[in-house]
Every structure is written in structure tokens, then in C-alpha cells.
Amino acid sequence: MIEPALVSVVTPSLNQAETIAATLASVREQEHPYLEHIVVDGGSTDRTLEILRDARDTVRWTSEPDAGMYDALNKGFASASGDVLAYLNTDDAWFPWTVAVAVAALQQHPKVGFVFGDLLIEEPTGELRLDFHSPFRLAYLRRHAFLAQPTVFVRRSVWDQAGPFDSSLQLLGDVEYWMRIADRFPGRKVNEVLALQRNHPAAKRFAQPQLLAAELDEVRGRYPRPGRPSGALGKIEAGVWRRIFTLAFLAEQGGWSRFRHEGCVRVSRLRLAATMLPLVGRRFASGAIRRT
């Protein structure tokens, strides 16, 4: 019998009172019963601390100045007790099945160091779109790709061996970390929608595009990258996989059953199919998924 895994989730926080309650609730409502939720707040001055006090029965939290998001995450994981580690930002949320699906995948594939899945993205307009990710390939990650951060779950043994996030980075410490650990620990894609990511103009990745580009160049410069032909082929391959996954989703084959049946959304099959069209496909993405 496989022992149940304790999952530690860390949430870095700073003045996000408008969204943090929904994030906390999404962790509290997980089907997987063995969870600890640690919030590391950087000294919020809005209603965040009031919300955290109200959630004290289900959340362990601190509030003090820190050196940024990755410093906060390192503090949280240093105090975590879990066999599996994940982090969830205050503007994102999990579905009730997220942790259970991730833990099951890690148990079914004991040689992988981390798992990740697909995203439902909410745009600033409130429109929704599905973001399918291709199976893990280190070369593609190092040249072009990003993992869907709120869907990544890492074994504690990986963290113990690879060390903490690079807290000198402000925006892409997670990207650097995936590149670092994937050299030694295989990753595996799970065909399920595991998180809701809310895009908004105040998010650092949108508010600081020049810093984002500079950090991306720095991070990718730390690790060997495939040549341009190999990188181009990887990009084409990823596009093919996204079309394969879109077709499988429409055919109700190959995964995503929890999201299709319990995600509280309505799928426009025609518009979702149209997202596969070259060049113009993205125009149809926003109307393919709607809340019920």
C-alpha cells in the first residue's frame, strides 16, 4: 500500500487582498486530505492580513519584509514538511482535483522528479482560454518553452538535492529552477487542467517586460541550449502536440476528464477546433471556453 503523501504548498503574498481569498479557498477545497498551506507575506498593508487571520485554522502564515517572491518561497519551503512541494501565487487558483491528480502521477511514475499539467487562463477581460502544454522535453524548455508554473509539483527529494530558488531573480526564478532540476530529474506532463491562471496588467510579467526579457536571456544563458535548427524543430513539435491534445480533448479521449465534467465550463467545440487553424487560430481561443 502506498503511503499518502503530505503536500506542502507555499503562497508568496504582498497586497493582493482582492484575490488571495479565492486562492486560499482553492487550496482548502482540495480532495487530497494531506496538505499544509504556508503563506509568506512580505508585509502587506491592505486587507491581506485580516484575510489570513480569518483563515488561520487552515493556513500557517508569517508577515515580514523579504527580498522578493523567490526569497519568500525559499523561506516557506525551508519550513515545509511535505513529501511533495508546490507553490501557488495569490492571483491563481487550483481546481478541487489538482493535488490528487498530481500526487497520483508522482506515485505512478516513481522515477520522475516533477509533474505538470495544462492551464485555464483568465484574461483581464474575463475571457477564458485553454493552454495545452506539450510533453516534457528539456531541449525545448531551454530554448523556447515555459512550464505552467501553478501546475508544477516537485518531490521534496529533488528540492533537497537541487537547493532553493535563485532569489537574485525577480521574475523568472521558477524558469531557472525547472531548467536546473530537469538536468537530473525527469519531468512528466499530466493531461489534465490543473490550475486557473489569472492574467492582469499588474502582474509583474506584464508590468516589467524589459526586466522579463533581460532575465530570460540571463537564465537561458546559464544552461546549454540546442542549436537553432533543433530549437525550431522543437517549436514545431510543440505546436503539433497542442493540436493533437486539442483533438483528443474534443474527442473526449486521452485525459482532461475532470475538467470536462467538473470544471463548470461550457466548451464551444467549433471555436475550440478553430484554434488549430494556422495564423488565425488564436482569434477563436477566447470564445471557446465559457463559464456555465
Domain that holds residue 182: 7-221
Q: Is the pLDDT at 26 greater than 70, yes or no?
A: yes
Q: Is the pLDDT at 158 greater than 90, yes or no?
A: yes
Give residue 237's pLDDT.
Answer: 85
Tell me the per-residue pLDDT of 135-149, one tens digit each, with 9 for 90 and over.
998 888 887 778 999
Cβ atoms of residues 178 and 141 within 8 Å: yes
* pLDDT bracket for residue 282 (50, 70, 90): confident
Q: What's the CA gap between 209 and 213, in Å, rounded?
A: 6
Average pLDDT over residues 207-212: 87
Tell me which of 174, 191, 221 is where a domain ends.
221
Q: Is the pLDDT at 228 greater than 70, yes or no?
A: no
Q: Is the pLDDT at 205 greater than 80, yes or no?
A: no
Give residue 230's pLDDT.
Answer: 65
Tell me the per-residue pLDDT of 29-44, one tens digit each, with 9 for 90 and over.
999 999 999 999 999 9
Asked if residue 181 is part of any domain, the answer here is yes
Q: Is the pLDDT at 113 greater than 70, yes or no?
A: yes
Asked if residue 274 is part of any domain, the answer here is yes
Residues 155, 122, single domain; the answer is yes
Residues 13, 132, single domain; the answer is yes
Q: What is the DSSP string of the chain?
A: -PPPPPEEEEEEESS-HHHHHHHHHHHHT-S---EEEEEEE----SSHHHHHHHTTTT-EEEE---SSHHHHHHHHHHT---SEEEE--TTEEE-TTHHHHHHHHHHH-TT-SEEEEEEEEE-TTS-EEEE--PPP-HHHHHHT----GGG-EEEHHHHHHH----TT-SS-HHHHHHHHHTTTS-EEEEEEEEEEEE--TTSHHHH-HHHHHHHHHHHHHTS----HHHHHHHHHHHHHHHHHHHHHHHTT-SS-HHHHHHS-EEE-HHHHHHTTSTTTGGGGGGGTEEE-
Average pLDDT over residues 67-75: 96
Q: Is the pLDDT at 200 greater than 90, yes or no?
A: no
Count: domains in the chain: 2
Give residue 1's pLDDT.
Answer: 38
Average pLDDT over residues 54-60: 94
Tell me the per-residue pLDDT of 259-277, one tens digit each, with 9 for 90 and over.
999 999 999 999 999 999 8
Asked if residue 1 is part of any domain, the answer here is no
Residues 68, 127, single domain; the answer is yes
Tell me the per-residue pLDDT of 185-199, one tens digit each, with 9 for 90 and over.
999 999 999 999 999
Q: Is the pLDDT at 2 greater than 70, yes or no?
A: no
Average pLDDT, the chain: 92
Tell me the per-residue pLDDT of 85-97, one tens digit each, with 9 for 90 and over.
999 999 999 999 9
Give residue 149's pLDDT.
Answer: 96
Bridge pairing between strands 114-122 and 35-41: unpaired
Q: Is the pLDDT at 104 greater than 90, yes or no?
A: yes
% residues pLDDT > 90 (the chain): 78
Tell me which of 178, 205, 221 is where a domain ends.
221
* pLDDT bracket for residue 226 (50, 70, 90): low
* pLDDT bracket for residue 254 (50, 70, 90): very high
Q: Is the pLDDT at 6 greater than 70, yes or no?
A: yes
Q: Which residue has the cell 465559457?
A: 290
Looking at residue 55, which CATH number applies to its domain? 3.90.550.10
Q: What's the CA gap between 83 and 6, in Å, rounded?
A: 5
Give residue 41's pLDDT.
Answer: 98
Cα dist. 163→18, 81, 157, 180, 216 in Å?
33, 15, 10, 10, 20
For the chain, give the longest Cα–Cα distance.
54
Tell me which of 190, 221, 252 is where a domain ends.
221
Residues 202, 115, single domain; the answer is yes
Asked if residue 132 is part of any domain, the answer here is yes
